[in-house]
Amino acid sequence: AKKYFEKLNEDEIQKLIDTVLLGLPGSLEAYSLEQFRNALSEYNSIGDKELRNNLYGFIKEIIPVAEESGVRMAIHPDDPPFPLLGLPRIVSTINDIEKILGTIKSDANGITLCTGSFGAGHFNDCVEIAERFADKVNFVHLRNVWRNENGDFLEENHLEGDVDMYGVIKALLTEQKRRKESGRNDFRMPMRPDHGHLMIPDLNREGIYPGYSLFGRMRGLAELRGLELGITRSFDL
């Protein structure tokens, strides 16, 4: 990275800064470089161990309250599931999920199955995650990605890419049927088509938050609902 940076001219450096800052979550506005550095500095004394302990402590405090209130928590995985800018990642792998769910045994302590976040890591099999932790999935984000051998990834159409969307949805529908047959009133898993490509009128619109275009997501939703119907009918789910 240092060698790459040293070869950049001023315009290329500014382009790199914009690429990093304009893609950050949590704000509709771009961060300034100073704001970004200040935010990073808050983690100077927080490593992997400290961040995990903070999370586990939070879970132990919040889950009993969630149970009393009839709320089901659903922690979202790291996006992407590998370190960026030296920040620790603690919700990225099957091992991470097991530690989180083992902190306190409760239906209120669950996960968001985000296939885009988990799927960006070549070490994750989203079908395995869906099957293994099906009873703990409280929210579903369906998104697909394409990965290369260097670990880079791009967001793909919902039914294309390296995530086996058929296998994931089949596992979730199987779990949904189990919940229904067990008498749960909340057997349906909340789901959304996570992210979508720019297409049709959205191509010329300004102010669209990256990944959240109307037409791209509606296309994804239609495709996912069609896949869901086909699986449901084929396997009597």
**Domain boundaries, given as residue ranges, for the chain:** 1-42, 45-235
The Cα 64–Cα 219 span in angstroms is: 39
- For 119-131, the pLDDT digits (tens) are 999 999 999 999 9
Nearest residue to 121 via CA among 139, 157, 96 = 96
Question: What pTM value is reported for the model?
Answer: 0.92
For residue 31, indicate whether it is catalytic: no
Decide if 138 contacts 122 (C-beta within 8 A): no
| Residue of 78, 96, 114, 126 marked catalytic | 114
Which residues, including other chains, have CB under 8 Å from residue 22's CB and lie 6 or more apart? 30
Q: Which amino acid is at 139?
A: F
In the predicted structure, residue 211 carries a pLDDT above the cut 90: no
pLDDT score, position 204: 87
- For 96-155, the pLDDT digits (tens) are 999 999 999 999 999 999 999 999 999 999 999 999 999 999 999 999 999 999 989 999
Rg (CA), the chain: 20
| Residue of 48, 135, 186, 212 marked catalytic | 212
- For 159-180, the pLDDT digits (tens) are 999 999 999 999 999 999 999 9
- CATH of the domain spanning 45-235: 3.20.20.150
Joined together, the tokens standing for residue 59 give 């879970």
For residue 48, indicate whether it is catalytic: no
